Chain A
Amino acid sequence: MAANLQQQRSINSQLRREVGIERMPVSEACSLMMKYMLEHEEEDCLLSGFTQKVNPFREKSSCSIL
């Protein structure tokens, strides 16, 4: 019982802390997240492909100029 009480007390204090945190409107938070993604689009090879650098995992072409 004592252990359960202790556990419940810590759950309650966690909930109290959580209720008290500052929040941002979802629209604002999402706009910021979207901005981050768009700003980093070009360095994202899996999304935008290898425009700047060579894909290190691509098999070398079997033809080469000797």
Chain B
Amino acid sequence: MSESAVPASNASGNASEKMASLVREAENLKGKLEEERQKLNDVNLANIAERLEQIAYVNIKPRKVLKGHQAKVLCTDWSPDKRHIISSSQDGRLIIWDAFTTNKEHAVTMPTTWIMACAYAPSGNFVACGGLDNKVTVYPITSDEEMAAKKRTVGTHTSYMSCCIYPNSDQQILTGSGDSTCALWDVESGQLLQSFHGHSGDVMAIDLAPNETGNTFVSGSCDRMAFIWDMRSGHVVQSFEGHQSDVNSVKFHPCGDAIATGSDDSSCRLYDMRADREVAVFAKESIIFGVNSVDFSVSGRLLFAGYNDYTVNLWDTLKSERVCLLYGHENKVSCVQVSPDGTALSTGSWDYTIRVWA
């Protein structure tokens, strides 16, 4: 053994000891966390809601079918005007629809396929989108020619971009990526304002807290976790586990104090942030297909979930019971979203169509 090797091996010995002690500490902390959460776990949501009447009947009908994409619809977003919908597809196109008339108002072809995310700016004058190109690109909504000419790349991840959202204004975009991070970008300069490290798998979905000053968001990941983040510090504030497979979708309850998740394990779950734990599970033995997308009605009483078995399930959030199913799509339902005023539900599918239910 050469002399120089001795300190090196000592150093690495110290490092592994340190590592081992950190891992032990982490295990202890996890145990402590579970213990603390369990202390206040006196009932679940369905128990609290037991005395409530069941939802007898929901009058939601298929109203519009938006046809025009030539491949799977991957993402949709309602315009703040409650009338237009933007959709992005595997075919590399973005389409802006008038959901009242079903007319296509704009169509833009991007130099990529699999546009996995699209989002309206709060003003309704811009859209952000991206996917397999790893980038988030912003288009102004003007004429088709001008849209293509005036596009701007705002940020780039090291893997696909799976989701994007405008947190406060047209000036910032929050993205989630297959590189397992989220990132906050300045639209004007393209500067990375904050990056969010913590997930150990692809980030599949993000959502903003509705009732705060726009500083809290939630992310769902293939590491089966949902994280609540503080946008200013870049830290995870709370973490929720329970799913047995990828978390494909996350959505804040309108009250702002809970989140719903949808997973490949064919369940949806509700986590309360004040109680810091899971309070409801939405699953049935007969449901064996994964959930791609979830959203709430404006009161939060209905939870809509889009599944790989081509259906949309409506769950009673309070009683954890299924209210009904929406049939119509002929392939996987990839995205569901309630319109901003709560009058309609849009659903996008691998059957190339978007449907509007109301």
Contact = CB atoms under 8 A, between A and B. Distances in A.
Given A1-B19, A12-B26, A49 B299 contact: no
By DSSP majority rule, is chain A's interface helix, strand, loop, or mixed?
Answer: helix
Given A19-B36, A37-B300, A45 B272 contact: no
Nearest to B255: A36
Interface residues of B, number: 68
A15 to B, nearest CB: 4
A24 interface: yes
Contacts of A36: 254-255, 299-300
A27 interface: yes
A27 B45 CA distance: 7
Interface in B177-221: 197-198
A5 interface: yes
Contact of A8 (B23, B37, B83, B235): B23
A11 to B, nearest CB: 6
B343 A45 contact: yes
B299 A33 contact: no
Interface string B292-326: 00000111111000000000000001100000000
Max chain B CB contacts within 10 Å: which of A11, A16, A38, A55? A11
B298 A57 contact: no
Contacts of B19: 1, 4-5, 8
B229 to A, nearest CB: 11
Contacts of B59: 49
Interface residues of A, number: 47
B314 to A, nearest CB: 9
Interface in B113-152: none
A25 B42 contact: yes
Contact of A26 (B22, B63, B253, B275): B275
Interface in B20-51: 22-23, 25-26, 29-30, 32-33, 36-37, 39-45, 48-49
Contacts of B44: 26, 30
A16 B33 CA distance: 9
Contact of B299 (A11, A17, A24, A44): A44
Given A23-B275, A30-B279, 14 more contacts: A8-B23, A9-B22, A19-B32, A23-B39, A26-B277, A33-B257, A37-B318, A44-B297, A44-B298, A45-B341, A46-B358, A47-B297, A57-B358, A58-B63
